Structure 1
Amino acid sequence: MTQQPHLFCFGLGYTALALARVLKQQGWRVTGTCRSTSNTEEARALGLEIVIFDPDHPVEGLAQRLAGVTHLLSSVPPGAAGDPVLQAHGATLAEAAPRLKWIGYLSTTGVYGDRQGGWVDEQSPLTPSGERGQRRLDAETAWLALPQPAHLFRLAGIYGPGRSVLDTIRAGKARRVLKPGQVFSRIHRDDIVQILLASFAHPNPGAAYNACDDDAADPAEVTAYACKLLNVAPPPEVPFAEAALSPMARSFYDDNKRVRNDRIKRELGVTLKYPDYRAGLTALLATESATSSSTTA
């Protein structure tokens, strides 16, 4: 009898829930962690098995829960004390790792640091420019140290349904900060899902993959394009030096690089659904319009 594929996911966030939705449609069993019972409504609606986990509340009986698991993914970010999943359950995961078909860890392109607009790929030196990037690099190293090393997915800025510049504009929170030469890479949530699925089909433990689209772009340019789609006036341009940004928002401008995604195409056979922000935003707006029309019909 063929074993039912079973994903255990630490951190059922925006991307992991989208992955779980696809896997459930394909007949998978999916178990995932949430930080509290207050954010499990969507997960339960999908028929997922929910477990509470946070740094102060380890998963009870994890070894038993992993008995039938075939695939394991972590999307939990590291904290000041390190990776909370490995801190709480490193020994259990090390014991389970050799029998799992696949292990994955969602990291960020922040591990490359600043390249002053230059290109990076998976072979580039890892030189994070800030504390958050260093924490990610430390977490990557720890996940690679498992008896079966994890696959690393270095994600660019994630956008998708309900979480894009279109929503920011509608909320009246959009801005156009000008910093000449600054670019950011992006990735649509649904393209992350297809990259993960492709890795399931072509496992290569220890491999790192950049998950980004083909077009690193100036964020002010992206905002202007989204305003055009929505037929609203773009917000005024504000020089970076004069922008009232939070320390967190300002830190994103510390890194300026273009990220290559050749490896997901060459090794995993991925064809991006949304190869640039124009395709992604246009599709999001079209889907919203179609949904609105069907609701009001």
Structure 2
Amino acid sequence: MSVLLSFGHGYSARALTPLLLARGWTVIGTTRSAQKAAALRGEGVEPVIFGDALPFDRVTHVLSSAGPDADGDPVLRAYGDALRPHLGRMAWVGYLSTTGVYGDHGGAWVDEATPPAPSTRRGRWREAAEAAWAELGGPLHVFRLAGIYGPGRGPFAKVRAGTARRIVKPGQVFSRIHVDDIAQVLLASIDRPDPGAVYNVCDDDPAPPQDVIGHAAKLLGLPPPPEVAFETAEMTPMARSFYAESKRVRNDRIKRDLGVRLRYPDYRVGLADLLRRERGD
């Protein structure tokens, strides 16, 4: 019996869950609220409130989606000592990181061989968390995720409401990834474990953010939202920090080493799919 223990069982892990349940797996997911625990139970997941005891003796695979903070990785703080003795017999451990660890490259291409050089506080926290998981030991696989979108996380609601803006910063590009493609990458890695591997998880088409918003409006048959210069745009500090880094992220390794064929190789295909789902097509 294969059992996945999923720490911080959120958006990406929930996309992976049905693929594992279809294979007869057990999925145990941690959450911080009883309300979320009830929702996970309805999805076939065995919920555990974060901080409670966990059945490590049952677990064959581990996935951590929990983000770090100024004090380090919350999973390792709470469970590192309890988890460590079990890692030697585990088949696979996955840690979801971000492409933010690469820092700013002025729009140039980066791949897994590019040394991390985070320029934001969150990026530095992620780099430290990757190192802490590696130090813990076990068959670790690190997945550096680009900007995630998917059902419930698309731009259409803001475009329809007239609150979307096309924020323009010359030369700015972001890489993205559809949540369903994250799930298939994780499943492919579980099927082909390679302890110590690092994978960039992104689509084939890094693009300026204003192009994505403009295309969403086009799909809806609406005029493009107004352009706003980055320098004068009203943004939260967190939103503004995303614009501090510009890079194009290569995804060759997930294709070559894991045999992944992206379902949504660019945002145009991904947005069209989201709109079809919203409309029930």
Normalising by structure 2, we get a TM-score of: 0.97
Tell me the C-alpha RMSD between the 2 structures.
1.1
Residue equivalent to 2:182: 192
Measure the CA separation in 1 of the matches of 2:125 and 2:262. Answer: 29
Residue equivalent to 2:8: 11
**Secondary structure of 1:90's aligned partner:** helix
Measure the CA separation in 2 of the matches of 1:73 and 1:111. Answer: 19
AA in 1 matched with 2:228: V
Q: Is 1:183 paired with 2:176?
A: no
Q: Contact conserved, 1:143 with 1:149, CA < 8 A, in 2?
A: no
Q: What do residues 141-170 of structure 1 show as CA deviations (whole Å, max 9, x unaligned)?
A: 011112314100000000001111123323
Q: Contact conserved, 1:187 with 1:212, CA < 8 A, in 2?
A: yes
- Segments of structure 2 that go 5 or more residues without pairing to the other structure are none
Residue equivalent to 1:20: 17
Residue equivalent to 1:106: 96
Normalising by structure 1, we get a TM-score of: 0.92
Equivalent position to 1:43, from 24, 40, 43: 40
Measure the CA separation in 2 of the matches of 1:147 and 1:141. Answer: 10
AA in 2 matched with 1:146: L
Residue equivalent to 1:232: 222
Residue equivalent to 2:202: 212
Measure the CA separation in 1 of the matches of 2:192 and 2:34. Answer: 35
**Secondary structure of 1:162's aligned partner:** coil
Residue equivalent to 1:246: 236
Measure the CA separation in 2 of the matches of 1:232 and 1:42. Answer: 35
- Segments of structure 1 that go 5 or more residues without pairing to the other structure are 292-297
**Secondary structure of 2:114's aligned partner:** coil
Measure the CA separation in 2 of the matches of 1:40 and 1:173. Answer: 33
Aligned residues: 281
Measure the CA separation in 2 of the matches of 1:150 and 1:167. Answer: 38
Measure the CA separation in 1 of the matches of 2:237 and 2:91. Answer: 41
Q: What do residues 222-248 of structure 1 show as CA deviations (whole Å, max 9, x unaligned)?
A: 000000001112211011111001100
Measure the CA separation in 1 of the matches of 2:177 and 2:137. Answer: 30
